[in-house]
Structure 1
Amino acid sequence: MAEYRRRGGNDDLPRPTAKRLQRPSWRDTRLVVGVLLMLVATVGGATAMRHYDSSVEVLQAAHTLVPGQRIDSDDVRTVKVRVDGAAKIYFSGADAAPDGEVLREVRPGELLPRSAVGDGSQVQVSTVALPVDAAQSATLVRGSIVDVWVSTKAKSSTGQESYEAPQRIILRALVAQVPQQSGGLSVSSGQGAVHVLVPEAKVAAVLAAVNQGAKVNLVPAAGSPLKGS
């Protein structure tokens, strides 16, 4: 009798062979293409940023600049800004210190406009030294805005010194220089006085009051920069 062998089970099924992971090679086209795409994206992004970066370097006031002052390198610093037409409105950061004199007050941190510097003949104020009490000058800084009040001496038959009611003779004057505090009780004149920018039309009246021994008071305007503020 013939014998039949039945084939069955899993012994006769093909078995998959595990493949080992291979390290990528520069000869792998996909790796080369991927690296090239990354390089193109990086270079393209940097180029686009430079193309669309509209910022320019301009000069900025490092501290208060006052009319009549000549500007040197310590008075300004270079900053980058994005302002339409900035190169035409403000002094470029590539320039040296502007040649000329400050024509108007420029606050610390303010961009330096070309219109604020020019010929000294255009300055319409003069610096006048005003004697004030040390308590008043101690609160002031360069750039403070003050109203100038004076009290003229009153005529007295008794010989006692007295003064008329104070009158405001200058509104919102700019302080150009304050005295160094040396521990004295008061400042009288000259080096110890507060230097204030006085409009040309008011200089004569201010000097007359000071020369006649009037009391001078400097009252800070609202919002004026003060020492410690």
Structure 2
Amino acid sequence: MESRRPAENELPKPAARRLQRPSWRDSRLVAGVLLVLLATIGGAAAMRHYDNSIEVLQASHALVPGQGIKASDVHAVKVRIDQAGATYFSADDPLPKGEVLREVRQGELVPRSAVGDGRSVHVKAVAIPVDSAQSATLVKGSVVDIWVSRKKSGDAGQVSYDEPTRVLERAVVARVPSGGSGFTVASDSGAVHVLVPDANIPEVLGAIHQGAKVDLVPAAGSPLKGD
């Protein structure tokens, strides 16, 4: 009997080979791991090299004109702003010397232009006795309009007041009482301290000393207690 010959168009079948688990001795595996490590290290180094962020000072609470800056008033934050070191105080430098020249709100970066010679500050803190219901809503850094109702004498010794008029817009609150009545004039412990421009101090003090009613009305966008 003749043996069967394979057909001319029949291809030989390759023998199946069993897959082998990669080993640390496999040079290709080692090379791949090294490439991944090198890429990770190189990427981290590049990020550090091109990271232009710096730490500057941010106001922990409102800073008002005339006050000095203590460590508790500011904290460091990292920012990525062009020429930030020239515009804002760096956290690596000592605390700024001098006095705050303008209001710096809570959370605002402290600009170098906002601190300087206190002689250029032309506002003074005036203690204004107000109803405790008004002071309860205010915080240091609140912005208020000052309204005055001047006293006038009526019949039979009755006291009445003129229509209120606004004597000052957008004054900054420097201090609020911790509690107690807000009507005492002899002691300012229950009064709200408001920064009044030098030119307006005589009018505000005159109204207080003459027994006028003074109201502090928060301006639009003013920080208030609970905000």
Q: TM-score range by the shorter chain?
A: 0.7 to 0.9
Q: Once the 2 structures are TM-superposed, how far is the Cα of residue 118 of structure 1 from its aligned partner?
A: 0.6
State the alpha-carbon separation in 2 of the partners of residues 80 and 115 from structure 1.
Answer: 20
Out of 91, 94, 113, the position equivalent to 2:92 is 94
CA contact (8 A) 1:58 1:92 kept: yes
Q: Once the 2 structures are TM-superposed, how far is the Cα of residue 114 of structure 1 from its aligned partner?
A: 0.3
Q: 1:156 to 1:20 in 2, by over 3 A?
A: closer
Letter in 2 for 1:42: T
State the alpha-carbon separation in 2 of the partners of residues 104 and 148 from structure 1.
Answer: 19
Percent identity over paired residues: 58
CA contact (8 A) 2:126 2:194 kept: yes
CA contact (8 A) 1:73 1:96 kept: no
Q: Partner of 2:152 in structure 1?
A: 154
Q: Partner of 1:181 in structure 2?
A: 179
Extract unaligned runs of 5+ from structure 2: 7-11
Q: Partner of 1:71 in structure 2?
A: 69
State the alpha-carbon separation in 2 of the partners of residues 155 and 15 from structure 1.
Answer: 119
CA contact (8 A) 1:70 1:100 kept: yes
State the alpha-carbon separation in 1 of the partners of residues 5 and 20 from structure 2.
Answer: 32
Q: Partner of 1:21 in structure 2?
A: 20
Q: Once the 2 structures are TM-superposed, how far is the Cα of residue 87 of structure 1 from its aligned partner?
A: 0.7
The aligned length equals 220
Q: Once the 2 structures are TM-superposed, how far is the Cα of residue 7 of structure 1 from its aligned partner?
A: 3.8
Is 1:117 aligned to residue 123 of structure 2? no
**Correspondence 1:1-229 to 2 at 5 A:** 6-8=2-4, 16=15, 18-19=17-18, 21=20, 23-26=22-25, 28-156=26-154, 158-182=156-180, 184=181, 186-189=182-185, 190-229=188-227
State the alpha-carbon separation in 2 of the partners of residues 151 and 44 from structure 1.
Answer: 71
State the alpha-carbon separation in 2 of the partners of residues 44 and 220 from structure 1.
Answer: 55
* TM-score (normalised: structure 1): 0.87
Q: 1:17 to 1:104 in 2, by over 3 A?
A: closer
State the alpha-carbon separation in 2 of the partners of residues 214 and 73 from structure 1.
Answer: 40
* TM-score (normalised: structure 2): 0.87
Secondary structure of 1:202's aligned partner = helix
- Provide, for residues 50-83 of structure 1, a one-character-per-residue CA deviation record: whole Å limited to 9, x for no partner: 1222211111111111001111111111111111
- Provide, for residues 127-173 of structure 1, a one-character-per-residue CA deviation record: whole Å limited to 9, x for no partner: 00001111211222211111111122213452222222222211111
CA RMSD after TM alignment: 2.2
Q: Partner of 2:9 in structure 1?
A: none
Q: 1:6 to 1:61 in 2, by over 3 A?
A: same
Larger Rg: 1
